[in-house]
Structures are given as structure tokens and as C-alpha cells.
Amino acid sequence: MIRLHDLANDPTVGTLVWLCVTLAAFLGGVALQVRLRGAPWANPVLVAIGLVCTALVLSHTPYEVYFRAVAPIHFLLGPATVALAVPLAASIGHVMRSLGAMTAALLAGAVTSLVGGVALVVALHGDHIVALSMAPKAVTTPIAIAIAGTIGGQPALTASFAILGGIVAAMVGEPLLHRLGIRDWRAHGLAAGIAGSGIAAAQVARRDPLGAAFAALGIGLNGLVTSLLAPLLLRFLR
């Protein structure tokens, strides 16, 4: 009889097994959120992480094995980010009319995220590497990893911060903005793109196409601005 551990760790079958497990976990998270009427706290990514972690523990599969098995998903992360240009192109008129306010919000959000994360680590007497890894946390994961490697941070740690930040932004962003009386989906989308990258942007995209366009713009421009500002911040940390 083939044990679960042997099947999950098999170099040939393991890739198919873990791809299916990951996809099923995410779809399960989506179904749960739909059943809960779109509750932001029932984020599909968070649910999927919990389910996959449980499967890894039960099958005694090392994370390195899982990481290699789901390499096709890593490859698709970049194209998925680029695909956000589709709703952006469809709403380019709205974007141009909001250019002034959007630029101010983008600069404020990028600087606050960049400086705030580093300041928090420094205030808590955290390690220098942790501070550098925290700096690009609000940028979409592929760009955040590249920035971390450039400024001397730890890319794996930055990826964790970026994913966690995206989940938190997806969970609290919409309720917080509604509580503040902000119901314009352009503001929701831009805030999600700047603060929570792809994870939070996906949450908005399921609600409103115009919000998806501004989220896509927030992701791209925040990545650009942060990649320019991060090396400048590095000079003050030396």
C-alpha cells in the first residue's frame, strides 16, 4: 500500500499531487468566502495557506519538496500580475481624469509603507537585515523579492512579509474604508494595490471592474516608486 508520505514526496507524482492540493485549497477558500457572502476575513489565500500547511504536516513533506513541486505556480505569478493591465486598459479614461489625486495618494502610500515598516523594526530593536527585508513589503511579491535582493535584505523573508501584508490588507482594507465613509471603488482599488499588492487587489477585482483597474495601477506604480526610493532609504540605514 502506498503511503501518503511516499506519494507526496515522489519526485514524479509529487508535482501533480501538490499542484492539485494547492488549487483545491484555494478553490475551497473561494467557495467559503462566497458562502459567507464575501466576508473579507475569510480570505481565500489565508484559507489556502492553512489547508496546505496542514497537508504538509500530515504528509511529513519538507517545504523544500513542496516549493519545487509547485514551481509552475511561481512561474504564473508574473503573467498574472501583468494580466491586471486588462481592466486598466478598459478604464484608462477614468484613470486619466483621476491622475492628480492618484499621484498624491500613490506617493503618500509608498513613502508611508516604506518608511513605516523600517521604523517599526528599528523601534523594536530588530535586526538590520529584517529592517531591509521589511522595506518593500507592500510591493507585489516578485518585485518585492527583487528589491530586497538589491538593497541587501533577505528575499525569502520579504516574500513572507509581502504575502502577510497582502492578506491583512485584503481582510481589513474594505471594512476600514467603509467605516471611514469611503465608498468609491477607485479609492478602494488604489488603496488595495498600494498597500496589499495582488492579494488585496484580487479581493477588489471580484467586487468592481473599475476598482480592479485602479488596483492594477496601484500595484505597478507602487512597485516602480518603491524600487526608486528603497536604495535612497538604504543610505540612511547605513
pLDDT in tens, 113-143: 888 888 888 899 888 889 899 988 888 888 8
Cα separation values, 112 from 12, 57, 149, 201, Å: 46, 38, 21, 19
Say if residues 148 and 132 touch (Cβ distance below 8 Å): yes
Residue found under cell 521589511:
134
Q: Indicate if the pLDDT at residue 5 is higher than 60.
A: no
Res 24: pLDDT: 96
Average pLDDT, the chain: 85
Q: What is the mean pLDDT of residues 31-54?
A: 90
Q: Indicate if the pLDDT at residue 29 is higher than 90.
A: yes
The cell for 18 is: 501538490
Residue found under cell 508520505:
5
Virtual CA dihedral for 229, 230, 231, 235, nearest 10 degrees?
100
The cell for 233 is: 532609504
Say if residues 18 and 10 touch (Cβ distance below 8 Å): no
Q: What is the mean pLDDT of residues 67-81?
A: 81
The cell for 181 is: 465613509
Res 2: pLDDT: 44
- Reported as a single tens digit per residue, the pLDDT across 160-188 is 899 888 899 888 888 899 899 999 888 99
Residue found under cell 528599528:
122
90 residue type, one letter? A
